[in-house]
Structure 1
Amino acid sequence: MFDQEILTHNLMKDYIRDLVEKGQRVDGRGLHEYRPIEVLNGTFTKAEGEAWLKLGETQVLVGVKADLGEPFPDTPDKGVFVSNAELLPVASPTFEPGPPDEGAIELARVVDRAIRSADAIDLGSLVILPGKLVYMIFLDMYVLDYDGNLEDSLTLASLIALGRSEIPEVELKENGEIEVKESKRKLELKDIPINFSFVKIGSKILLDPTLEEESVSDASITVAINKDGKVCSVQKRHGTFTVEEILNIVNVARSKWPELARIVREAI
């Protein structure tokens, strides 16, 4: 049985690589074309903001929760922003139950880094009393179905969830008491930093890889582009790229940013 699985994988690998060298993909897309992106309507959680997003067969759900607490000692004038990713076992046979593993931690960091590097959230506006009391924003990301490119799908869903978020307004009274009001305030997005993930198969570079394409790739990389077209973060997972390939990847990502930013804005 094990030998049969290896044979099947090798045959699929050869098939994908042969197609890619001809400039083709198994699902018929162009090398730099995204799969269909769909944001589901409805309410699925009790979060302050949420988004259920499909990228091809990959499905993710992101929720945003707000709380009050003390700021970090080194940033007394900023609110707290914490990101967490969970790879639910039902999403893939390779995901195991238990605390987040290295893959989940890296995934959360890729999304978190893009948002932080672009200052997409004004953490300064989340301060109620400097050094004492701030809003704490928790970004919880869940992978529901895994068919490749979790980085891009979770980033898009996270931006939509953050942009939809409404957090309770708080008043600090003279006697030091905190009054949480019924009124809400929008959690403003100052930027839309989007992750774009690529893999290299042979001599070709592919955008938005499927799980099969990821599994046979020679190298993979994710670059985040902000609203000004600047690279705000990079994460290379394996393999190598030439300088020319990196420059081409950045140019492709910049050309795709308006299309994905429009999806985010329309969903918010």
Structure 2
Amino acid sequence: MDIVPEITRKSITRLINDGKRADGRAFDERRDIFIEPNVIDKAEGSARVKLGDTQVIVGVKPTIGEPFADTPNLGVLMTNCELLPMAAPGFEPGPPSPESIELARVVDRGIRESELVDLEKLCIEEGKKVWMLFIDLHVIDYDGNLFDCANLAVMSALLNTKLPVAEYIDDEVVLSEDETMDLPVRDKLALSTFVKIGNGLILDPSLEEEEILDARITIGVTDEGNHICSMQKGGEEPLTRDDILDAVHLAFETKDDLLSYLD
């Protein structure tokens, strides 16, 4: 291992074992959050979110297609992610990397398992035509904790997405030219990511904290339902039962403050 990362690892770990973080935050403190909705004119829903120096832009693009055979009355939702090379030296152009696939899947799972989008209301004609939502995530700047930042961007984009009113007439879908409907979003999702370094469990890791983590856990908590809908474990080391319970407790405790930015 290179000598500089090893020195950094020991320095940050020593700080955390002493109850401190390199940037001065408390263990349960997030970085500053900034949300700007409607940033893409040609998307029906979009948002830009900054979490510290991490920045993600999300666009929602609907189209009309056929439902899946096993869910003829449900709309379709697909999430894609692109880690732009300008965001970080380690991101490269080409096929999706394992990191981009994991990010898209974590965000997508949270949306599905929380059932925050009413997919039944995206059905235009059962078994024939439904709305299909394509959610595209673009990482602009990477300074740690892409999961929480991307989820906030997706939530903001979904909340401001509007669809043309659609009718099924004579085996064709007719779209209104001047009447729209809000995307049927019936809940909100708070995603909270924690990392274990040394003896400490910290919320919203920065890039340098992510680079030396022992373990990571991301917890999705719904707003209205107030229940856990998703979890994702990362890192090579295990987490103790107390670590997981502490993370769950903090995810619920900080949920309202995190979701207040969407208002």
Q: Please report the TM-score for the alignment, with normalisation by the length of structure 1.
A: 0.94
Q: C-alpha separation between the residues in 1 aligned to 2:32 and 2:90?
A: 24
Q: Choose which of 169, 176, 193 in structure 1 pairs with 2:171.
A: 176
Q: C-alpha separation between the residues in 2 aligned to 1:208 and 1:16?
A: 15
1:244 maps to: 242
In the TM superposition, what is the alpha-carbon distance from 1:215 to its structure 2 partner? 0.6
Q: Choose which of 247, 258, 261 in structure 1 pairs with 2:256.
A: 258
2:214 maps to: 218
Q: Choose which of 1, 7, 12 in structure 2 pairs with 1:11.
A: 7
* Percent of paired sites with the same residue: 43
Give the alignment's Cα RMSD to 1 decimal.
Answer: 1.2
2:99 maps to: 103
1:123 maps to: 119
1:78 maps to: 74
Q: C-alpha separation between the residues in 2 aligned to 1:225 and 1:155?
A: 12
In the TM superposition, what is the alpha-carbon distance from 1:44 to its structure 2 partner? 3.3
CA contact under 8 A between 2:86 and 2:140: conserved in structure 1?
yes
Q: Choose which of 130, 133, 136 in structure 1 pairs with 2:129.
A: 133
Amino acid at match of 1:80: V
1:190 maps to: 186
Instruction: Please list every run of 5 or more consecutive structure 2 residues that lacks an aligned counterpart in the other structure.
Output: none
CA contact under 8 A between 1:33 and 1:207: conserved in structure 2?
yes
1:230 maps to: 227
Q: C-alpha separation between the residues in 2 aligned to 1:251 and 1:188?
A: 29
In the TM superposition, what is the alpha-carbon distance from 1:42 to its structure 2 partner? 5.9
Runs of 4+ in 1 over 4 A off after TM superposition: none
Higher alpha-carbon deviation: 126-135 or 44-53: 44-53
In the TM superposition, what is the alpha-carbon distance from 1:41 to its structure 2 partner? 5.9
In the TM superposition, what is the alpha-carbon distance from 1:188 to its structure 2 partner? 2.5
Deviations 1:93-143 (A, max 9, x none): 100101212211111010011111110000000001111100001110010
In the TM superposition, what is the alpha-carbon distance from 1:161 to its structure 2 partner? 0.2
Higher alpha-carbon deviation: 105-114 or 181-190: 181-190
Q: C-alpha separation between the residues in 1 aligned to 2:37 and 2:245?
A: 37
2:205 maps to: 209
Instruction: Please list every run of 5 or more consecutive structure 1 residues that lacks an aligned counterpart in the other structure.
Output: none
Q: Choose which of 45, 55, 71 in structure 2 pairs with 1:49.
A: 45
Q: C-alpha separation between the residues in 1 aligned to 2:250 and 2:190?
A: 13
Q: C-alpha separation between the residues in 1 aligned to 2:86 and 2:255?
A: 31
Q: C-alpha separation between the residues in 1 aligned to 2:41 and 2:247?
A: 36
Task: Find the residue that maps to 1:73 and give its secondary structure.
Answer: coil
CA contact under 8 A between 1:114 and 1:194: conserved in structure 2?
no
Amino acid at match of 2:119: L
Q: Count how many residue pairs are aligned between Structure 1 and Structure 2.
A: 260
Task: Find the residue that maps to 1:134 and give its secondary structure.
Answer: strand
Task: Find the residue that maps to 1:40 and give its secondary structure.
Answer: strand
Q: C-alpha separation between the residues in 1 aligned to 2:164 and 2:141?
A: 32
CA contact under 8 A between 2:194 and 2:201: conserved in structure 1?
yes
